[in-house]
Structure 1
Amino acid sequence: MNLHVKIDRGSHVSEYHVNCPKVMTVLNVLEKIYQEHDPSIAYRFSCRTGLCTTCMMMINGKPDLSCQKNAEAGSDGYLTLAPLPKGYTIRDLVKEY
């Protein structure tokens, strides 16, 4: 599956085309982008089980955990990622509260 990803990085939006298996979490897609496309992308994660909430972000316009949410395109054909609206954005998808 070829997934088109848009990441709101504050000052600009980055777009990536990621080849991935049919079922993959948003966190796995971010890791693939980091490893294969852009090692400068900033995001957080810790437990991978949905308990710590450090990977929380806006996914296709709704707040969700990237470690639990399956990666799928929204109505516009893109998997759109952005930081949560509250708090201070340190960089890319990383927030401070």
Structure 2
Amino acid sequence: MAQLQVKIQRTETNTKTYDVTHSPDMTVLDVLEEIYHHHDETIAYRFSCRTGLCATCMMMINGKPSLSCMTIAEPNDEGYLFVSPLPKGKTIKDLVKVPAN
């Protein structure tokens, strides 16, 4: 187990940083679950794995749109994992988006 610094864009002007214990096989969704359960229960994100609503966990991961349940949590070139909401749509809270009207 190693430490991973995770930066999450919570609002357009607020980025929160967490230090998470992680293993090399953890996905970004696993890391978000770790943050939610052990660091900050106010963080908002979506996932619907195994319910037929694939892609609800889509977010920007290190600057690229990706499924958090399928993407291995790895630091970017600057040494941390950066997670933010997708650029299109309306942000409800943190990483939760809805399509724009």
Q: TM-score range by the shorter chain?
A: over 0.9
Supply the distance in 1 between the matched residues of 2:63 and 2:80 (Cα, whole angstroms): 11
Aligned residue for 1:25? Answer: 27
Cα deviation code 1:8-61 (max 9, x no counterpart): 011410000001122100000000000000000000000169x61000000000
Q: Give the aligned length.
A: 97
Confirm or deny: 8 A CA contact 1:48 1:67 kept in the other structure: no
TM-score (structure 1 length as normaliser): 0.95
Q: Structure 2: which 5+ runs fail to align?
A: none
Cα deviation code 1:54-74 (max 9, x no counterpart): 000000000000000000000
Deviates more, 1:7-16 or 1:31-40: 7-16
Supply the distance in 1 between the matched residues of 2:84 and 2:7 (Cα, whole angstroms): 8
Deviates more, 1:19-28 or 1:60-69: 19-28
Q: Structure 1: which 5+ runs fail to align?
A: none
Cα distance change, pair 27–48 in 1 and its aligned pair in 2 (3 A):
farther
Query: Which 4+ residue blocks in structure 1 deviate beyond 2 angstroms?
Result: none
Aligned-CA RMSD value: 1.6
TM-score (structure 2 length as normaliser): 0.91
Identity of matched residues, %: 60
Structure whose CA Rg is larger: 2
Aligned residue for 2:7? Answer: 6
Confirm or deny: 8 A CA contact 1:88 1:95 kept in the other structure: yes
Q: What letter matches 2:19 in structure 1?
A: H
